[in-house]
Amino acid sequence: MRISEVKIIHYRAPLREAFTTSFGTMKVRDTVLIMLGDEEGYTGWGEAPVDNGPWYNPETVATAIHVIKDYIVPALRNKEIRHPCVLRGLLSRIRGHNMAKAGVEFALWDLYAKKLGKPLYKIIGGVRKRVEAGLSIGVIGDMERLLKSVAAGLEKGYRRIKIKIKPGWDVLPVKTIRREYGDIPLQVDANAAYTLHDLPVFRELDKFDLLMIEQPLHYDDLYMHSILQQNIDTPICLDESIENIYDALAGYKLGSYRVINIKPARVGGLCETLAIHWFAYQHNIPVWIGGLLETGIGRAFQIAAATLPNIRYPNDISESSRFYVEEIVEPPWKLSSDGTYIVPEKPGIGVEVREDIIIKHAEKVLSYSF
């Protein structure tokens, strides 16, 4: 592949309803979309699902655009790229900025798979025709509304329920869900909102037979998580703390986790996703694919990653219509009644990108040809 055309788009997707985590509340989802075109006329799309501010990780819309425009795009110029993972070598001087790198790598994967005429999932070694979806519910703070959301999720067919927790909203919602819905597959995600001083809270949560407790402690920590894991039975699942294969290795050696939530964008793309996935497979550690409120484009890469063999829990892949007023891919991602998505068999990401809708909500479009 020789890249001859690049578009970097700041896309502002209106959300159906506000989404709250321990980071805050958002009503519009700002994200960065990337289109790459090659000399033979093939195109590929990717997404860097960054936030407006450095809340989930240090990246923002502005840093992603800056790094893609000023460092990544110049590195693609006049290069023959034989495989998407070659990008890692081309970008080896750029430290961090995993989501910016992932967005461009995703677009390369889509383009590469389209050129080969094969679906993306097959090219990365995926083995599933359907992938399981779980529902992630934000910090609602209102028990009645929480129970309604759980009921709606179960009715939709989602295969497990995850609720976001924060200090003051943890044991009681879990207890209430268990009381109302019995032994459903249930897990919690703290998004790093606790410290080891909160051990009594985790000991309480330990009584409710949760599938896992996700990222309870500091976003950059492995050691404290290993102490917490020694003191509770519920498996700890790390999300924010695992940014690459080195973190996965260190956390494994320390005993910091028993499950990994791999977000392909967090770890810099599908190449690092594959490395972590196969490392975990070798050590019999289950993994699953997490989400960052991706648009339909980012979701395509989550679905491809979720077809890998060592995915052993339902993935955080919600229907587009749950969050977004308009979907930017055709057909939209629609959950089957059994709580799975059918993996597209068309070449590349397997869905058409609706540029007309993208342009409608685009805040800024940068275009380059070379």
The contact set with Mg ion (CB under 5 A) reads 189, 214, 239
Closer of 288 and 341 to Mg ion (Cβ): 288
Active site residue 148: no
Closer of 219 and 279 to Mg ion (Cβ): 219
Q: Are 265 and 292 in contact (CB under 8 A)?
A: yes
Tokens representing residue 291 in the block? 């989400």
Q: Which of 101, 162, 164, 166 is catalytic?
A: 164
Tokens representing residue 332 in the block? 């939209």
Taking the complex as a whole, how short is the minimal distance between the CB of residue 9 and Mg ion, in angstroms? 26
- Residue in 33, 32, 115, 117 with CA at minimum distance from that of residue 81: 115
Taking the complex as a whole, how short is the minimal distance between the CB of residue 100 and Mg ion, in angstroms? 20
Taking the complex as a whole, how short is the minimal distance between the CB of residue 311 and Mg ion, in angstroms? 16
Closer of 1 and 238 to Mg ion (Cβ): 238
Omega before residue 314 within 30° of 0, cis:
no
Whole-angstrom distance, CA of residue 301 vs CA of residue 225: 29
Q: Which residues contact 30 (CB under 8 A, 6 or more apart)?
A: 10, 11, 12, 13, 50, 51, 52, 61, 363
The DSSP output letter for 344 is P
Whole-angstrom distance, CA of residue 295 vs CA of residue 298: 6
Q: Are 341 and 133 in contact (CB under 8 A)?
A: yes
Taking the complex as a whole, how short is the minimal distance between the CB of residue 247 and Mg ion, in angstroms? 15
Active site residue 207: no
Taking the complex as a whole, how short is the minimal distance between the CB of residue 215 and Mg ion, in angstroms? 5
Closer of 215 and 295 to Mg ion (Cβ): 215
Q: Find the residue with minimal CB distance to Mg ion.
A: 239
Tokens representing residue 10 in the block? 């700041």
Q: Which residues contact 154 (CB under 8 A, 6 or more apart)?
A: 161, 181, 184
Closer of 4 and 149 to Mg ion (Cβ): 149
Q: Which of 263, 346, 360, 364 is catalytic?
A: 263
- Give the amino acid at 365: V
- The catalytic residue positions are 164, 263
